[in-house]
């Protein structure tokens, strides 16, 4: 751990000293540009946590003041077997963020995906009772609170338990706990995490009217029962023409009207698009890359596409800034196009374009357009 953190700090310091010569290598800090509006976050992937010299650290330390773990804290990554715990990467994540004064996010306590089967089964492979599953969930929350409760402030308590039509997702959690799964999960979080922890419900497709209305109803229900919910995470895995900006505004307004804060938790823009696989449901069957689904395999985007991408980012940030008093944080899901999860979803191994930094870790035209939106205000 000591060697890793020292190396990661050195890799990060390059950007903070601003010793590069050209504007491209030393652009203004994104989070400083949005100071007073909302936090600007990013993620640490497992590969960064395994390689302290990753060039992404220079971006993270300079441009982000909040950090989420892309994968290492998920139940299956952290606790793949009943008695097996993998703390190393998560400990590094927390240590790094703490060293750089980042607002840390715990992602994610309870998600139907990336949760091993053993969580839902007894020693004979039979489904657990409701009480036994709740005890396992409580144990997980308790362990995380004990280990990182003083350093992680924001928690994604439940991820993606509501379908686009507003119904509860038919997950293993739901099969055992029924429609009360999300409520019970928040009760556990409220009881086990520190009292000043910020508890979020996090989902994709939060601009779909069915899901939006269901989330609003859930927050009102929780509040009427005295169950703490402090915010909603609109993941923001968006595309070039979906969702409409008006739908984003409608959701920001609807969620804020319930008295909670909005966090844009996983922002990226899928330039190539997902076609019928809208959303961020990682459980779908992947397609294979071909010239139709992978038009720019060498990573060179025509200037017209680069411009279109930058414009869309700028339009989105104009909307977010217009509603900034409703928003606490905007987190990008990744650091650069080199490692965005959209290179593998829903088409395996294609060359996609999703973030503000390119495959050489240089700021893209979209970076400067986003920066401009902040300067206009
Ligand atoms: O680490 C293994 C590696 O050892 C192996 O060689 C490789 C072969 O496929 O897989 C690697 O693991 C992959 C991991 O990402 C790291 O790249 C997993 O297969 C893959 O399933 C995993 O995908 C992650 C996905 O969640 C599922 O956990 C993505 O990185 C991550 O960006 C994505 O994030 C989710 C949020 O948590 C919740 N909201 C949606 C969002 C996007 O799907």
- pLDDT on residue 354: 98
pLDDT at residue number 278: 63
Tens of pLDDT, residue by residue over 176-223, are: 999 999 999 999 999 999 999 999 999 999 999 999 999 999 999 999
CA-based nearest residue to 73, from 52, 40, 45: 45
124 class by beta-carbon count within 10 Å (0-12 exposed, 13-18 middle, 19+ buried): exposed
* 142: helix, strand or coil: helix
- Give residues (CB < 6 A) around ligand 1: 46, 70-71, 74, 114, 159, 235, 266, 280, 282, 341
The whole-number average pLDDT for the span 283-305 is 90
Please name which of 372, 331, 322, 375 lies closest in space to residue 355, comparing C-alpha atoms: 331
pLDDT per position as a tens digit, 37-48 = 999 999 999 999
Mean pLDDT of 262-269: 98
Q: Which atom of ligand 1 is nearest to the CA of 77?
A: 28
Ranges of beta strands (E only) in the chain are 39-44, 66-69, 103-106, 110-111, 152-159, 198-203, 231-234, 237-239, 261-270, 287-288, 327-332, 347-348
In this predicted model, what pLDDT tens digit does every residue of 135-160 receive, in sequence order? 999 999 999 999 999 999 999 999 99
**What's the CA-to-centroid distance between 246 and ligand 1, angstroms?**
31
Active site residues: 160, 266
Tens digit of each residue's pLDDT (9 = 90 or more) over 64-76: 999 999 999 999 9
CA distance 309 to 368: 12
- Predicted confidence (pLDDT) at residue 19 exceeds the cutoff of 60: no
Best residue for ligand 1 mutational test, from 108, 205, 282 (most atoms within 8 Å of Cβ): 282
Q: Of ligand 1's atoms, which has the minimum distance to the CA of residue 281?
A: 43
Tell me how far the alpha carbon of residue 347 lies from the centroid of ligand 1, in angstroms.
14
Q: How far is the centre of ligand 1, averaged over its atoms, from the C-alpha of 156 (Å)?
A: 17
What per-residue confidence (pLDDT) applies to 1?
83
pTM more than 0.85: yes
Output phi, psi for 73, to 5 deg.
Answer: -95, 0
- How high does pLDDT run on average in the chain? 95
How close is the Cα of 282 to the center of ligand 1, in Å? 8
Show Cβ contacts of residue 77 under 8 Å, excluding neighbours closer than 6 positions. 46, 71, 86, 89, 114
pLDDT at 18: 57
Quote the pLDDT of residue 21: 43
Q: Does 272 score more than 90 pLDDT?
A: yes
Give the residue, by CA position, lying nearest to ligand 1 atom 13. 71
Q: Going by CA atoms, what residue is nearest to atom 21 of ligand 1?
A: 282
| Count: domains in the chain | 1
Helical residues (DSSP H) of 72-129, grouped into ranges = 75-78, 88-99
CA–CA distance, 173 with 152 (Å, rounded to integer): 25
Average pLDDT of span 78-85: 97
Q: Please report, rounded to a whole number, the percentage of residues in the chain having pLDDT higher than 90.
A: 90
Confidence band for 282, pLDDT divided at 50, 70 and 90: confident
CATH code for the domain of 32: 3.20.20.80
The protein residue whose alpha carbon is closest to atom 1 in ligand 1 is 46
pLDDT at 277: 66
Task: Kindly give the number of the ligand 1 atom that is closest to the alpha carbon of 334.
Answer: 32
Structure tokens at 71: 């994968």
Give yes or no for a contact between 84 and 96, defined as CB atoms under 8 angstroms apart: no
128-137 pLDDT tens trace:
999 999 999 9
Q: What phi and psi values does residue 331 have, to the nearest 5 degrees?
A: -110, 130
Separation of CA 70 and ligand 1 centre (Å): 8
Q: What is the pLDDT of residue 26?
A: 85
**Which stretch of 121-135, 277-291, 330-344 has the lowest confidence by average pLDDT?**
277-291
> In which domain, by residue range, is 168 found?
2-376
Instruction: Give the model's pLDDT for residue 284.
Output: 76
Instruction: Return the half-sphere exposure (C-beta side, CA atoms, 13 A cut-off) of residue 297.
Output: 9
Which atom of ligand 1 is closest in space to residue 341's alpha carbon? Answer: 32
């Amino acid at each position: 751990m000591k060697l890793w953190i020292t190396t990661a700090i050195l890799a990060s310091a390059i950007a903070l000293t601003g010793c590069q010569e050209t504007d491209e290598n030393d652009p203004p800090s994104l989070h400083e540009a949005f100071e007073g509006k909302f936090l600007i976050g990013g993620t640490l992937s497992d590969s960064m946590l395994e390689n302290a010299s990753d060039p992404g650290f220079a971006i993270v330390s300079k441009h982000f003041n909040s950090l989420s773990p892309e994968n290492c804290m998920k139940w299956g990554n952290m606790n793949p077997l009943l008695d097996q715990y993998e703390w190393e990467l998560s400990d590094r994540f927390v240590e790094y963020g703490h060293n750089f004064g980042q607002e840390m996010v715990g992602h994610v306590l309870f998600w139907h995906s990336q949760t091993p089967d053993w969580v839902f089964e007894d020693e004979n492979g039979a489904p657990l009772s409701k009480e036994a599953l709740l005890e396992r969930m409580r144990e997980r929350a308790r362990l995380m609170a004990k280990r990182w409760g003083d350093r992680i402030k924001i928690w994604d308590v439940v991820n993606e338990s509501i379908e686009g039509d507003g119904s509860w997702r038919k997950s293993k959690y739901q099969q055992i706990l029924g429609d009360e799964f999300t409520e019970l999960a928040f009760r556990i979080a409220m009881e086990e995490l520190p009292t000043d922890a910020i508890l979020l419900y996090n989902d994709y497709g939060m601009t779909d009217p069915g899901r939006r209305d269901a989330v609003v109803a859930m927050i009102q229900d929780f509040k009427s029962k005295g169950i703490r919910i402090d915010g909603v995470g609109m993941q923001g895995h968006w595309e070039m023409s979906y969702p409409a900006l008006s739908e984003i505004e409608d959701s920001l307004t609807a969620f804020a009207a319930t008295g909670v804060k909005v966090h844009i938790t996983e922002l990226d823009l899928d330039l190539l698009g997902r076609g019928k696989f809208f959303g961020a449901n990682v459980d779908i069957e992947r397609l294979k890359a071909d010239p139709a689904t992978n038009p720019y395999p060498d990573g060179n985007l025509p200037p017209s596409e680069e411009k279109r991408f930058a414009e869309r980012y700028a339009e989105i940030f104009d909307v977010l800034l217009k509603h900034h008093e409703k928003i606490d944080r905007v987190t990008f899901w990744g650091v650069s196009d080199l490692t965005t999860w959209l290179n593998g979803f829903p088409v395996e191994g294609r060359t996609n374009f999703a973030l503000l930094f390119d495959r050489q870790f240089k700021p893209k035209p979209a970076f400067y357009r986003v920066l401009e939106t902040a300067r206009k205000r």
